[in-house]
Chains A and B, each alone.
Chain A
């Protein structure tokens, strides 16, 4: 019953999406009525899909195995927390998630732009509703991916969730990535709308900038969680493997990063219009490609995929998006041209352009490497693939240059900067970078790895430069309004959220790259074979295998080791790496040997620290346990048959089993009985292992500074949050809509920025005087145009100077 309701809601959602797309296109000719209705249809779509998601989640929470989806991805034993997340471990559930998140983002975007961007919104609505119609239609019509497919009769228990996925970050990671992918649909749709309506000023960017930032932050968080999962759950101790699906998520993040920078150039200077449109098209296409790769099986990857039915459809959508957008951009090239040029190479916009080229080059390199198996098959007929060293060789220098530019960009002012000003802002960071370089060379830390040395030096430059920016901004604020330094820092940040939020992101990225460089260049990595009582020394740490331990729970058998770690004669840590062998679910109840045929996962013993992590995993010797388990299974089967010599309880259990086979109502009782027996046997096996644990294999990794990857990532996310948070002023007054009004706003913002740069000592007095005069002249021109040429610039002159 709930399944058919869900099905109906899904079908209605498809209709709502189609309706919204068609009405929006009708409304693009100027019929505002149709546009209003199409917006409401998108709200309805969101409500319907929310209903679908809630229905599925209720089925998961309540173990409703009449849902095929629930039966295949959950079980009674699955912990409640993972039941709620099991939806997106499936093909159909993840498609539903895609459509649902899109409908939410589209509703929010349309609500925020109601009454604004009148020419652009209808087309944007059509694009968003079109994409939503595609994904809901896919679930309904592609076959095999309807989340509301039912099983009759419903099985007693489900197959369960893959234990590898039972990790907290695995539950959050996919929705984060999807939200990231999906939220890029919004700026893409508005870009298409702006192109179609030929409204190519920066209005569409202002309305969707925040969505691009949100998408970027979510995608970044998704990548970070995936890396963390790999580090703590996959048992190999790495966080990035250049796996095709990882790359697929990284690529839109890179072009998205480029987009977030280059739209500022369009907002401020009206340049790079065609570039921005192309970047967002590329980003959205790459997001779709990521969605496709997970489901297609074209590339070999550790990420799971069955060859599924939806791959070709998504490929079709990608082709439509790519061809349609390109045609649209080409047909609007004349409108996209900007009369302005970049004034000087020593300006923020020039640095943004360089950073864009670096990011796109990085993305292109990763794209080539990821799809090389297909390219090679095309040219040589052989499917050849590229491994991590190839990726490292090209991405390392690009990443090092990028870290340098995270420092250079914030230090430069818009338009141009004179030699005097440049000396003033670059002096301290350059000296600090030099000092760090000398220290690293003298201590021999980096002599073996020049790339790492370069990265550390550039990161030192950037971090110092950013610290200097914060310091000077706060000092400027303090000289105006007094108060303590921290209060001034807080005030200047909250008044210029975009600027200082961005700087915080840069700090985070620099810290993250330091973590990556250090942990990948200076890692020590050893495999040890130890019996209880034995010890080994690695990187000055003595590791003692003190004793084995076991744990029996309904889900799994765990064999582990207690490791004592001593450093400088003192106990530094106790680690408990282990391996979990999961109880097979489904038909094969009642066998103990099955534990060792099903899934197994490594539980890592980790001691994290600011200087280095000590990472351990273990592989127990389970040969003996396995043999005893097989013997136990043989005994159990003999018992069930009622073979001679078996204890009297056997007859009782086998009677119960036969009765249960005839009467389904008895089945839960019989199952519980078998599980009790199974647990007792598992307990015995565990005791057997404790008595004779044998030699276990340990992998021990000493990973310097790896913690800073996670810390840097969190700093970057905090920065994104600061930049996303709406400023108080903007909340009070709705953003301007008219083109001239928008231009005026942008010009005022530019004047304020220049004043802040001057107050913070980034612009010399002469530089500032020149720039300010130029900006005010431009502002007056805009005001003249706004007032039909009658006014003479009172607005610009009369406006009080900005208080930093």
Chain B
């Protein structure tokens, strides 16, 4: 076989493998991902499906019951739409009233049950702007 043709075959094989691998990557990412939802969108959530809840902790709603943490999370822009949440596991340092959080879990009987150790709290802005300066830490 002449070297030019050999190279071409090698290139096609390499590209083929690359395409195959990347389509596997793309395929699994769609099935492995969890949808991010705000409380108002979760009211019509499918039971059993896993979601990433995003929103703000309703001020004054945090209660500790032994290891269990109970609080409410409201839409970022509409504090009137909120959902009760239960969670146990690591609570990040910045977690408190009014903070934006991300929590993975499922909806059971109208309560969002967080998976253990999945609570993420967004830091109060390190890079503040004019508008967000007052609540910066």
Contact = CB atoms under 8 A, between A and B. Distances in A.
Contact of B126 (A165, A390, A600): A165
13 contacts: A91-B128, A94-B127, A162-B136, A165-B126, A300-B102, A304-B127, A306-B127, A382-B36, A384-B34, A385-B34, A385-B52, A389-B32, A598-B137
Given A162-B126, A235-B92, A308-B129, A529 B35 contact: no
Contacts of A386: 29, 32-33
Determine the interface band of chain B, counting residues with CB < 8 A from chain A. Answer: 35 or more
Task: Sort A-B residue pairs by CB-CB distance and give the 5 closest, nearest first.
Answer: A304-B126, A91-B127, A304-B123, A384-B33, A306-B125
Given A301-B122, A302-B121, A386-B29, A295 B90 contact: no
Interface of A: 72, 89-91, 94, 144, 159, 162-165, 234-237, 294-295, 300-309, 341, 361, 364-365, 368-369, 372-373, 376, 380, 382-387, 389-390, 393-394, 527, 529, 597-602, 619, 623, 697, 699
Contacts of A529: 66-67
B67 A697 contact: yes
Contact of B91 (A300, A302, A619): A619
Chain A interface, >50% SS class: mixed
B84 interface: no
A558 to B, nearest CB: 13
B132 interface: yes
A364 B136 CA distance: 35
A295 B125 CA distance: 10
Contacts of A376: 30, 33
B127 A387 contact: no
Interface string B80-99: 00000000011111101100
Nearest to A389: B32
Nearest to A243: B120
B126 A303 contact: yes
Contact of A162 (B29, B33, B123): B123
Contact of A235 (B90, B129, B131): B90
A365 B25 contact: yes
Given A235-B90, A385-B52, A619-B91, A306 B36 contact: no
A527 B67 contact: yes
B130 interface: yes
Given A165-B126, A309-B129, A387-B32, 16 more contacts: A91-B129, A162-B124, A162-B136, A234-B93, A235-B93, A300-B54, A304-B124, A376-B30, A385-B34, A386-B32, A387-B118, A389-B32, A390-B28, A393-B28, A597-B96, A599-B137
Contacts of B64: 623
A658 B54 CA distance: 46
Given A309-B129, A529-B67, A300 B36 contact: yes
Interface string B11-39: 00000000001100110111011111000
Contacts of A159: 136
Contact of A307 (B29, B89, B129): B129
A294 B127 CA distance: 9
B14 to A, nearest CB: 8
Given A72-B133, A164-B94, A529-B66, A300 B29 contact: no
B122 A302 contact: yes
B104 interface: yes
B137 A162 contact: yes
B33 A306 contact: no
Nearest to B98: A597
B136 to A, nearest CB: 7
